[in-house]
Structure 1
Amino acid sequence: MMFQKIRYRLFLSNLLVLALVLSSSAFVVRILFIRNLKQQLTERLIAVAQGIAASSELEHGQLELQTKFSPQQLRAHQQVFQWFDTQKRLIEQQGDPNYAPTLPFNAERTVQTQSDKIKLLIVTLPIVENNSRRLIGHIRLSESLEEIDETIARLDVGLAAGAFVALFLSGLGSGWLNRQAMQPIEESFKRLKQFTADASHELRSPLMAISTNAEVALTYSDGMRKSDGEKFQAISMATDQMSQLTEDLLLLTRADKVSSFESKKIDLTTLLIGSVNLYRPQAQTKQIELKAEIENDLCLIGDEAKLARAFTNLIQNAIQYTPANGEVEVTGNRIGQELLVNIEDTGIGIASEHLDLVFDRLWRADRSRSYYKGGSGLGLAITQAIIYSHKGTITVTSQVDIGSCFTVSLPMAFTN
């Protein structure tokens, strides 16, 4: 499951990066393409307007207009020609009036864009007499941007289709590459787990021998010096801790093997109440109020012994890290198709920067370590492995000096 999540995150990260690159590239291409289209259209309209302006003359005080474009050509290109005198009054207009500009005439602006119901590109140029070089009028030429908009729409469809195909093919390639890249890591991890399991298994016998001999020496301590007795007592305690550590490591290495888990219907209500009652004397000894509020008939499919181990780990941790006169509360509820169990305490809490590390193996925050010296540091890692093997999740929220809350979510079993 751990490597599946890593592959999934890598897959999404690769797709996200590629999507950002493709969208950025498409955006730049689109902007440059639109700018180039409009620039070409502007240059073409300016060239046409310059040609018409050059062929226009002033005769007998009247502006003589000459164009080589027929009305049919103007309608086909959705163009409109307008001539203005020096007083900026409209003299003549050619082309489809539906595409005539509605913007006020402005001789100071050579290029304008109209964005009303009909989008137009407008070019305005002065008409200068050839001989005297004096201003004799203005010409305003406009053309609809509908064709450019249609071209842009086709470009958008092409870019979107290309991006979709690229993402699809890249997703396939990314999945394959991720599997190839993760395969050596997974194999190394499996070998490491196998080594851990083998080493833990092999340590059982010598640890048992050491523990047995230490217990025999302590049982028959006649004639033994007091200092020797203390040494044997330390040996026995250290051996017990190492034995517990090896058992925890074996459980972790087997946690991913579903076949090693029993699968039967479990009454989670009874299991939780039993776990609370088991640790109630310990809580009373520490003057901690241990409360339980658990719904009836909370059922699921799984391994009862493993789940009992997971919840007793959580309850034991809550009691261990809660000072005297504190509270530990265990609640169990049915939410939709999920069973939610909360183990909340008023203990020392966990710093926010450490929350992502609490389920790591052999990890304990400095403050927690100084507060409680026992345990192997694998309890929460074992709990997480057990919950994951039951298709559940476990999360934690905490505030320093206020307390912590571990939330376990497990799939509910349907009752007949």
Structure 2
Amino acid sequence: MFKKIQHRLLRSYLLVLASILSIFVIGVRVVFSRSLAQQTTDKLIALGQGVAASSEVEDEQLKIESELSVKELINNDRSLQWFDTQGKLISQQGKYFIDLPFSANQSVQTQSGKVRIRAVTLPIIESENGKLVGYIRVSQSLEEFDETLRKLDLGLGSGVIIALIFSSIGGVILTRQAMQPIEESFQRLKQFTADASHELRSPLMAVKSNAAVALKYSEGIRETDKEKFEAIASATKQMTRLTEDLLLLARTDKIQRQDWQLVNLTSILEDLFQLYRTQTEAKTIQFKTQLTKDLYLMGDAVQLMRLFTNLIQNAISYTPEKGTIEIIANRFGSQLIIKVKDTGIGIAPEHLQLIFERFWRADKARSYANGGSGLGLAIAQAICLQHQGEIVVTSQVGIGSCFEVRLRAVG
């Protein structure tokens, strides 16, 4: 039980940490990407302004001259394009050019494709009269930009993974330390419950014996006193069963797995069918089975019989006359699936998560009217968990319930 809680805490801790780190990584990447993109654009603008400022005009015609060599442009993955005032290409130098239509209004353009390219278009103004004489478009490949982002992604991703690994190690240590005092407190509580239940057995047995003697030789007592002794005997019987169940729950985790033996579950279920067939017939309940032969597992035969006894008794208690109870046992892969189905009163959806709690009962679906201690399903679940299995419940009010037990098979 505490292992599951520890794992749940660790998963929650790692989920929160992973969420925080993801938000941080996304924020860093967005800020860095925008900053790097703005730097690239600023460099292209500066280059374009420098080329535009050095441009000359002869007879109102743009004279193409650039202080930058073509080799230098190619080495820097850049290119220059000159356009007249009508947007017609005059000349170009470099390696990478965008294929997008010329647009004087859109100063920054980005072209996607095998090689992403960013371009900045700037006007060329004649310095003497301020007249527009053409446009210069500066382009640059974004391969280096994209490679930088890939390295950033790799670094951030690796950092997150390393952080989660070390956080997992630290989380395991911290959750163990956090759960240790809780486990110790729970063990002390279980020990107290076991000791108290054990000590109560003797006085309860004495009360039960004296009440039985008084009822056996009831000739000398009044009728009203006889009824009181019968009530005492009934209450004592219920208290005895309660202490026995509490003692069993307290000792469930102490079952030593090395003492487990190979158990034929089919044989156990067949014995229980024969045992409770008379009781179901008396209640006019149709009791039937579908059992696969030789279903083996490693476990404690006595505890497993108690598990299915509690489930069958629970079904009998809450199945009305002329109802049906069916036990189905099969093997699927490495699992044994045992279903105890009934056509009883059913369990409300909001109560399904509560039925295995000790002493829990709904107004209609759970009561002590059948003489039970209110611990039957809690004991069944404890035994199932001890055998590394689980119980799954499905139910509909007024239709019935199905308790599905899943255990590890052998062979």
Same fold at TM > 0.5: yes
* Residue identity matched to 2:162: V
Give the aligned partner of residue 33 of structure 1: 32
Give the aligned partner of residue 12 of structure 1: 11
Q: Does 2:361 match 1:352?
A: no
Checking the alignment, whether the CA contact within 8 Å between 1:276 and 1:315 is kept in structure 2 is: no
TM-aligned CA deviation for residue 117 of structure 1: 2.3
Give the aligned partner of residue 390 of structure 2: 393
TM-aligned CA deviation for residue 257 of structure 1: 1.0
TM-aligned CA deviation for residue 342 of structure 1: 0.7
Higher mean alpha-carbon deviation, 64-73 vs 350-359, is at 64-73
Q: Does 2:309 match 1:274?
A: no
1:235 to 232, 235, 241: 232
Checking the alignment, whether the CA contact within 8 Å between 2:60 and 2:133 is kept in structure 1 is: no
* Residue identity matched to 1:374: G
Task: Give distance in 1, aligned partners of 2:257 and 2:88.
Answer: 95
Checking the alignment, whether the CA contact within 8 Å between 2:78 and 2:141 is kept in structure 1 is: yes
Give the aligned partner of residue 195 of structure 1: 192
Identity of aligned residues (%): 56
TM-aligned CA deviation for residue 135 of structure 1: 1.1
Residue-by-residue CA offset, 1:332-353 (whole Å, 9 max, x unaligned): 1121122211100111111111
Give the aligned partner of residue 102 of structure 1: 99
Aligned to 1:275, the other structure's residue is in SS state helix
Residue-by-residue CA offset, 1:183-217 (whole Å, 9 max, x unaligned): 11000000000000011011111111111111122
TM-aligned CA deviation for residue 260 of structure 1: 8.5
Task: Give distance in 1, aligned partners of 2:258 and 2:382.
Answer: 12
Aligned to 2:152, the other structure's residue is in SS state helix
Aligned to 1:256, the other structure's residue is in SS state helix
* Residue identity matched to 1:54: A
Q: Does 2:152 match 1:155?
A: yes
Q: How does 1:4-403 map to 2 (within 5 A)?
A: 4-96=3-95, 99-259=96-256, 262-369=259-366, 372-403=369-400
* Residue identity matched to 1:391: Q
Task: Give distance in 2, aligned partners of 1:227 and 1:64.
Answer: 128
Task: Give distance in 1, aligned partners of 2:338 and 2:53.
Answer: 88
Aligned to 2:138, the other structure's residue is in SS state strand
Structure 1, unaligned runs of 5 or more: none
TM-aligned CA deviation for residue 301 of structure 1: 2.1
TM-aligned CA deviation for residue 261 of structure 1: 8.5
Task: Give distance in 2, aligned partners of 1:262 and 1:82.
Answer: 87
Aligned to 1:178, the other structure's residue is in SS state helix
Task: State the number of aligned residues.
Answer: 411
* Residue identity matched to 1:248: D
Higher mean alpha-carbon deviation, 111-120 vs 178-187, is at 111-120
Task: Give distance in 2, aligned partners of 1:124 and 1:305.
Answer: 87
Q: 1:131 to 1:40 in 2, by over 3 A?
A: same
* Residue identity matched to 1:91: I
Residue-by-residue CA offset, 1:38-88 (whole Å, 9 max, x unaligned): 011111111111122122232222212343322221011110101100111
Checking the alignment, whether the CA contact within 8 Å between 1:321 and 1:372 is kept in structure 2 is: no
TM-aligned CA deviation for residue 259 of structure 1: 2.5
Residue-by-residue CA offset, 1:365-407 (whole Å, 9 max, x unaligned): 2211359442011101111111222222221111111111111
With the length of structure 1 as denominator, give the TM-score of the two structures.
0.96
